[in-house]
Amino acid sequence: MPMMFTSITKIIFRIMCWLNVMSLLLFYNLPVHAVDSPIKSDETIIFLPEVGYPLAGGKQWKLRIHGWIYEPDWKSDFSIVFRTVLGLEEYQLAEEKYDSLAEERRKLFFVDNESGKKIPIRVGNKTFVLDESGSNGHFYGELLATTEEITQWRDKQTIRFTAITHDARQFTGTIYLLDAEGISVISDIDDTIKISEVHDKMALLANTFSRPFMPVPNMAEFYQKLAVGELPVTFHYVSASPWQLYPFLTEFLDAYHFPQGSFHLRLFRWKDENFFTLFKSSKPHKIETIESLLKCCPQRRFILVGDSGEQDAEIYATFARQYPERIVHIYIHEVQRKEGDKLDYPAIFKGIPTTQWTVFTEAAIL
């Protein structure tokens, strides 16, 4: 009798162990719908490309996430509101043949931003819940992952992730991985790779909201050359353009064969004085973004590309003096300035070797 009792006990113990193992397996293979998601069927998410980088010691990585959740709320009569609120009343925005394009570009300025949303995402086999979205619908997160996990998740220089939803829709995002050693190309957009004519208000409006985006000639070919090297190369697009234009800018990169990369644009708020203030006050945004990239990856080297229309030369020269061993080269596209005069480059780049900076009007020479 005691022996029989012992045998039964062992059998029960084994069954319990088996059930525990099965429950663990089921837990780690839960379908995405099993995780609670606050994303409603009428809400949309755009994930904005960010970066990930190794922390000191090399055992962990930090992955930055940035997204935007909103409910589309476009009405055709918003076109008038758009022009009034952004201070564009006196300017003719649309050429008749581009009316539908202009309407698409304006839609994201009239959405119902969703606040208080904690978005769950799936990265590899792990689930993370991001910080709560703000009143502007934007949300952020900084995830920690082991180097082993990064190795499993990465596809060359990127990691892809998805939002967890209650339906079949997929909202995917990209993280660009910055290995400890590599090259980062920090690029402006307006008048550096895309013709915007920032110092001509009429042309700026048309080129931003009404006309197809057009590339600065030969810049895509130059960037393709920069993308090939012994060390991994990552591109970072830093611009005063508002986030509402991101979908169209990333389409522009694809259409004209520019390398994709992380995006660092401006938050546009209705309380801004008008649309043009975005371009007038871009210096703090660019300095903060570039400094953040330099500090997160202390061993990487950087190439800085901009134009003479804003303050790119002055900003880049400051960083070249501060980080002389890390700024490999500065390229400045010379464009027509509002004042009609050219910058005094020898004065701007004083103390920086002439072999470290190039001013050009035609990218074909690069």
3-class state of residue 257 by DSSP: coil
Phi, psi of 157 (to 5 degrees): -105, 15
Do the Cβ atoms of 163 and 41 come closer than 8 Å?
A: no
Strand, helix or coil at 184? strand
DSSP run (H or E) holding 150: helix 147-153
For residue 15 the two structure tokens come to 């069954």
Cα separation, 311 vs 295, in Å, equals: 22
Give the DSSP per-residue string, 97-146.
GGHHHHHHHHHTTSEEE--S---EEEETTEEEEPPPP-TTSEEEEEEEEE
The CATH class of 44-73+112-177 is: mainly beta
Q: Are 236 and 51 in contact (CB under 8 A)?
A: yes
What string of pLDDT tens digits covers the 366 residues of the chain?
A: 444 444 544 444 454 444 443 333 333 334 444 568 999 999 999 999 999 999 998 999 999 999 999 999 765 555 655 666 555 555 555 555 566 787 788 888 888 999 999 999 999 999 999 999 999 999 999 999 999 999 999 999 999 999 999 899 999 999 999 999 999 999 999 999 999 998 887 888 888 888 899 999 999 999 999 999 889 999 999 998 899 999 999 999 999 999 999 999 998 766 554 566 655 667 899 999 999 999 999 999 999 999 998 899 999 999 999 999 999 999 999 998 766 678 999 999 999 999 999 999 999 999
Indicate the domain borders of the chain: 44-73+112-177, 183-365
Residue type at 42 in one-letter notation: D
The rounded distance, in Å, linking the Cα atoms of 63 and 296 is: 11
Amino acid found at 307: D
Two tokens at 224?
A: 């393709």
How does DSSP classify residue 7? H
Q: In the block, which residue shows the tokens 């606050």?
A: 38
Integer Cα distance of 352 and 321 in angstroms:
7
Q: Which secondary structure element, helix H or strand E, spans residue 54, and what is its range?
A: strand 50-54
Pick the closest to residue 123 from 172, 166, 169 (CA basis): 172
Q: Which residues contact 137 (CB under 8 A, 6 or more apart)?
A: 68, 69, 70, 111, 113, 114, 115
Look at the block and give the residue holding tokens 């810049």: 219
Pairing of strands 120-123, 138-146: unpaired
* Distance (Å, whole) CA 280 – CA 357: 25
How much is the pTM? 0.86
Write down the CATH number for the domain with range 183-365: 3.40.50.1000
Residue of 238, 215, 216, 236 whose CA lies nearest to 226: 236
DSSP state of 362: -
C-alpha–C-alpha distance, residues 342 and 328, integer Å: 24
